[in-house]
Structure 1
């Protein structure tokens, strides 16, 4: 018996306005997005039918549009928004989003925040 299919979108590199310091509000910064979405494997596996699978390209396009057109004071808000996009599809049973903000701290490669959601 199949359980959940797991989609991983790895290192989606985008630019957005993120932060509350004056220079952060005026200049776009890089963010790196990692997404995991789980849905029942029964969808799309038995018939090789695109309409019966969760379309990760559609979700990714929604994430790109939201991130690139948005302005965010907090990393928490950006992560929560992306997570919400990932949970909109009715088949989604679990989603996790981690977003890295490279060079946010002087002596660190990045600062990241993760949020996850699970259907009750």
Structure 2
């Protein structure tokens, strides 16, 4: 049986959170932009058009939103690492990449961003569960 990869892309998820260690950053929420790429194996079972046989990107996105909007982060690295951990939490995920932009972080730049990625060893496929 051939296994293909599905790639979920969450593009430009705009949220607000407390991010930074300066006094002003600790008092006022800032805009951030989340981009995530999540890979998982797709089998014939996934292609059957049954919701339970596919990775639910809405559930995943709700977890990301809740964590970010309810959190406080000193470093962008921590925020990205936490978001990546949410993206790779599902046993089917084989790879994920997360980039988070912090607009207006630098005076003469549109934004500052950080990217982390993780290759997951031997993910479970939907047919194995």
Q: Which TM-score tier does this pair reach, normalised by the shorter chain? A: over 0.9
RMSD: 0.8
Is 1:28 the counterpart of 2:29 in the alignment? yes
- Per the TM alignment, residue 41 of structure 1 is displaced from its structure 2 partner at its CA by 1.4
Runs of 4+ in 1 over 2 A off after TM superposition: none
- Per the TM alignment, residue 55 of structure 1 is displaced from its structure 2 partner at its CA by 0.1
Q: TM-score, normalised by structure 1?
A: 0.97
Aligned equivalent of 2:78: 77
Unmatched segments (≥5 aa) in structure 2: 122-129
Aligned equivalent of 1:59: 60
Q: TM-score, normalised by structure 2?
A: 0.90
Aligned equivalent of 2:125: none
- Per the TM alignment, residue 48 of structure 1 is displaced from its structure 2 partner at its CA by 1.0
- The superposition leaves residues 64-119 of structure 1 with CA deviations (integer Å, 9 ceiling, x where unpaired) of 00000000000000000000000110000000000000000000000000000101
Is 1:44 the counterpart of 2:46 in the alignment? yes
Secondary structure of the residue that 1:40 maps to in structure 2? strand
- The superposition leaves residues 10-40 of structure 1 with CA deviations (integer Å, 9 ceiling, x where unpaired) of 0000000000000000000000000000000
Unmatched segments (≥5 aa) in structure 1: none
